[in-house]
């Protein structure tokens, strides 16, 4: 089994030509709407500006903590968007709402697991600044998603 996995990995990674690799786009990122990519670009710019301000006020560790807190929300968005937007264009409202709720559940679980991982495995963090980064990212992503044009 391990030999087969290694063989498939090598053939996928190294033997395929560049033109064939284009056919293997990541399904996860492909299903995310372009509006979310635009929102995430703006979100990361704001988080980096806040991290820069925090760097000059409280130091490097606090700035990294802000970025780590925001990355928890970003991971949640990346993992939940394909689920939440699976029924996009579907006529049945119940299907749209069900997929949106499933996406929110995945987003919340991803944020909780990534925050737990940060608090367990990274000791040099400033918790209040992780919460600041998390709050900025969550508020901004909520505002940006609510302003998405539904046409």
The answer to whether 91 touches 27, Cβ cutoff 8 Å, is no
Q: How far apart are CA 144 and CA 138, in angstroms?
A: 10
Residue-level length of the chain:
151
Could you count the other beta carbons within 10 Å of the beta carbon of residue 37?
A: 12
pLDDT tens per residue, range 90-135: 667 777 778 878 888 888 899 999 999 998 988 888 889 999 988 8
The answer to whether 47 touches 137, Cβ cutoff 8 Å, is yes
13 confidence band (pLDDT: 50, 70, 90): very low
Q: How far apart are CA 96 and CA 118, in angstroms?
A: 33
Q: How far apart are CA 120 and CA 48, in angstroms?
A: 24
The answer to whether 51 touches 66, Cβ cutoff 8 Å, is yes
Average pLDDT of the residues of the chain: 75
pLDDT tens per residue, range 67-93: 899 888 888 888 887 777 776 666 677
Q: Which residue has the higher pLDDT, 68 or 25?
A: 68
| DSSP labels, 73-99 | HHHHHHHHHHHHTTTTT-S-HHHHHHH
Q: Which of 23, 70, 62, 65 is nearest to 42 (CA)?
A: 70
Q: Which residue has the higher pLDDT, 21 or 116?
A: 116
CA atoms within 13 A on the CB side of 56: 5
pLDDT (0 to 100) of residue 57: 93
């Amino acid at each position: 089994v391990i030999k087969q996995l290694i063989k498939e990995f090598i053939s996928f990674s190294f033997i395929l030509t560049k033109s064939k690799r284009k056919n293997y786009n990541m399904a996860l990122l492909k299903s995310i709407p372009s509006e979310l990519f635009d929102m995430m670009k703006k979100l990361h710019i704001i988080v980096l500006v806040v991290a820069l301000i925090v760097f000059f006020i409280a130091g490097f560790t606090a700035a990294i903590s802000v970025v780590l807190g925001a990355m928890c929300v970003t991971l949640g968005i990346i993992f939940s968007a394909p689920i939440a937007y699976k029924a996009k264009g579907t006529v049945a409202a119940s299907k749209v709402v069900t997929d949106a709720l499933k996406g929110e559940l995945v987003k919340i679980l991803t944020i909780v697991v990534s925050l737990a991982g940060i608090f367990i495995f990274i000791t040099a963090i400033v918790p209040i600044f992780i919460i600041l980064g998390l709050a900025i990212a969550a508020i901004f992503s909520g505002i940006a998603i609510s302003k998405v044009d539904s046409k």
